[in-house]
Structures are given as structure tokens and as C-alpha cells.
Structure 1
Amino acid sequence: MQYENVDVAFAGQIATVTLNRPDVRNAFNEAMIAELTAAFESLNERDDVRAVVLAANGKAFCAGADLNWMKKMAGFSDEENRADAMRLANMLSAIYRCNKPVIARVNGDVYAGGMGLVSACDIVISVDTARFCLSEARLGLIPATIAPYVIRALGEQASRRYFTTAEQFDCATALRLGLVSEMINADQLDATVQQLAETLSENSPHAVRECKQLVQDVAGRTLDAALIEDTAARIARVRASVEGREGVASFLEKRAPAWRT
């Protein structure tokens, strides 16, 4: 696929998907949504990719929805609005369900739908000057499509506040609430993201995929007999896998595992 609104680059086993509409603070429209969806669906199928970085060009990470796109949506029928919302929902799902770990490289402000992009990622590294805002209520809207991801990232109580107040909050608050994994100075951003991506790339690809799926499947479930049986079955399956056996053997034999060679 030819990309016009995002850039996709590869360096070793790390893929970087970069939002590339800096003139509108990387606000997304239907074209960017389609390209992001296609990019992550493609990366999901690539065995040569171990980690994905979601980055942005310009001063802002993502300002949410493009105003011209929103203006056009105002004239949509109910059916057209539902179809359009589903395209956004599918894009977020493609990021969240990507079987590679996804690192958000947050270089600047994150507003509205941009909060969904960040919340769908597994790890969020942000500059300390970034500001965050769920601004939908100011426009008479609600953050519905991004809610499943944002509520998981912020927690229910913080979401009650910031969904309804549409207040802006700083990176220190985002870190305290758990949305941001690590807050750093801008001059450390690239090195920190690169080091983390390389660390992920050194681990068993199969185990990393299973770990990501494990968190998604177990979070919020009742601790009952079914969950206990499920988790026992998972570790039994992974122990018997090719990479599971190789990992244990390489540790005992004091050598690097095959996936690093």
C-alpha cells in the first residue's frame, strides 16, 4: 500500500509507523485511519518484525480528529456515521491487537482521538512537556470509540473526571494515572524508545506475543477455577513450544537462544 499520511520504516527487527500530517498537528481523517489500519494489519503478519514504534512528525503527537473531516461528518446519515465510526474503531483495534508490542513515542500534545491511539499501545514513552486532553465534551461529543482503551489506561475513576470535564492535564498526571509508562526529557526520547525496542527484540517472539495476549485475556476476569485452569494450560502449552524448549536449553547451556542469532 502507498502511504501518504503515515510513514512506515524498518530498522532491523523494529518497525516505526509515523503520523505525518504535522501541518494539522497529526489530526486524523478517513485517509489516515485507513492507512494506519492497513499498516498495523500488515505488521501483524510479518515475522521479521519484533517491535513497533508509533511516532509522529511535528510538534504534536495527535490532535484527534481533523476539523474538516468532522465538518463533513455532520452531514452524514446515521448509517454513514456508524460506518465511519467503525472504521476508527477497527483502526484502534488493529493497534491494540497487533501481536507485536507497540511503543508510543509521544513527542508532544495528545488530544481527543489521539488519546485512543496512545491508550491502544502497550508502552507509552512521553516527553515531560506533553499535555493530554479528552476534549470531546467541549464540542458536544463523547469519546465513545476510544473509551474501551482509555478507560483501561486511565482507570474508571480518572475517566469519569476527564471525560466529563474535558480538562487538560500534564505528563506528570498522565504518569501518575498510568497512561504514560515513562516521562523523560525531549533529548532522551529517541534513545529511550530505541533501547526499549531493542530490549523487546531480544526476547522470544512467541513468548512476547503470548504475554501480550495473556494480559488482554486475563485483565478484569474473575479469579475463579476457569481462570486458574486457563493460565495453567497456557504455560503448559508454551513450555512445550519450540521457543519454550529452546529458551530453557540455551539458558542451561549458557548460550544465546536461536531467536537472537
Structure 2
Amino acid sequence: MNWKLLIKVLLTGLAVYLVSTRIDFPALGVWIAAVPVPLILVSFLLFNLSKIVGALRLNLFFRAENMRLTTLQNLLLYYKGMFYNLFLPGGIGGDGYKIYLISNTLGNSWRYVFKAVMWDRVSGAVAILFLSAVLMLLVPVTYAYSFVLWPTVATAILVFPVFYLITRWISPSYGAITISGNLLAILIQLLQAAVALIIFRGLEIAPAQMGEYMVVFFISSLASILPITVGGVGIRELVFLTAARYTAIEPNKAVAFSLIFFALNAISALAGAFITVNLQKPQPKSEVVS
């Protein structure tokens, strides 16, 4: 076990312990069981639709770096990466797998593959940040804290223009796809927001409280991107429990939601275990002999 994995395991254990001390396990089980199965199935379909759109967005960055993957190849690679990210976090990881496979099979430099994969992730984080800020401006509790209000306004207005300028500066080749990539990133997050809304509905969250739950959902999604625990376990739950101190969020319902959302992710990612990704190195064009 390398030291990075050891730190992740320790942080995961700490996060799980902190969560376990603040919830009522019998009540948690009741709320999870109370969510109707049809709502879970619809959530599962929408979640995977968001992943399909995510694969399409990633392929925009690949093609900008002259990596020619078919839509099917890229989708299979995306799900394989999901499996590695969630179930093998201490090994090569999903991003590492993509970088290794493409650079060794298609012959592209690993640096360009790395840049495409990382910029895809940054694009997703920017979309989450934007939607979080917009939702926070719609929730009354934001206006009770001036030190939160004005940074939130600035974020909602500036995050995409600043990201565009940084993109043009760091990687001009991505300039042409920045708008389409951002739109797809927003669509992905809106689909995942729909998943959250459906689960919240199944947990009988009151409509008046839904805004606060959605704000915390987006913030927790941003926090779960950080590679500090195994598979992001415990981070989303801690964000919800911390927010519960300042809002009307009910801790047991929040953790029930987090566990259901994680289960949707885990079941979807498990498909990657049965997927084989076949990439073929481009063959040189044969010369025509007259």
C-alpha cells in the first residue's frame, strides 16, 4: 500500500466515523427503504444519461488534441474509467487508465491526453461552481450572511468569463470548444440535479426546503471531486451534516440521500468491470501507385 492510498484510507475512515457519530442508523434505514423503487429506477436512468453526456464532452477535448476515438470507443472508455476510479482508487485510477491506454495505443503523447482529461474535469467543476452560486442566490439564507452573498454574486457573474480567458491563455486549441463544452457541463449537472430532486422527493423533503438541499448537493458534488478519500466516500455526507448546523436540513435524510446517490454511482460504475476497450492505432495511408 503506497502512502497516498494510506492517507486516503485514513481520511475515509475519519470521515465515516464523524458521520456515524451524528446520525440515527435505524432512522437512516427507514428513510432509505421509504424511497419508492420507481423513483430509484428513474434516477438511475438519468444518472447514466448524465454520464453519457459526460463522455461526449470528454471526446470534445480528445478531438481537440487530435485523438480520434469513435463515440462508442469513448463511451466504453469512460465507463471503464468510472470503474477504476471507484473500485481501484489506489492503483492506476480511471484517469490514469485513459491516459495510459490512449497514449500507448493511439500514439498520442501522454501530456496531451493528461491535459484533455484534466481540462474536462476543470470544465465540470466550473459548471458546478456556477450552478451552486446561482442556486445560493435563490435561497434566503444566503442573504443573512454578507460575507457569503457578495462572493456568490461575483462567482455567478465571473466564473465562466474567467474560465474562458484562462482556457484561451493555457490551451488556445480548446478555445473553439469552450462554449459547447461549458453547455454540456451545465447539462450534465442539471441531469444530476434532476436525480437529486427525484431522490429528495422520495425522502419527502418539503418543497420549501428543496432549495437548501439542492445548494448543498452542488457544494457536496464540488467537494467530492477532491481526491482525498477512497471513491469520495464520506465527503458528501460530511458536507450535508455540516450544512445541517446552519440550515433546516435533516441529517438522517441528508445521509440517506448521499448513500442512495453513491449506490447509483457504484452500480453504474460496476458495468465498467465487464467492458473491454479496443482501440486501434491509425494505420498509415498506403501510397497509390500509378
Q: Comparing both chains, which one has the higher relative contact order based on Cα–Cα distances under 8 Å and sequence gaps of 6 or more?
A: 2
TM-score by length of 1: 0.22
Q: TM-score, normalised to structure 2's length? A: 0.21
Structure number with larger C-alpha Rg: 2
Which has the larger helix fraction? 2
More strand by share: 1
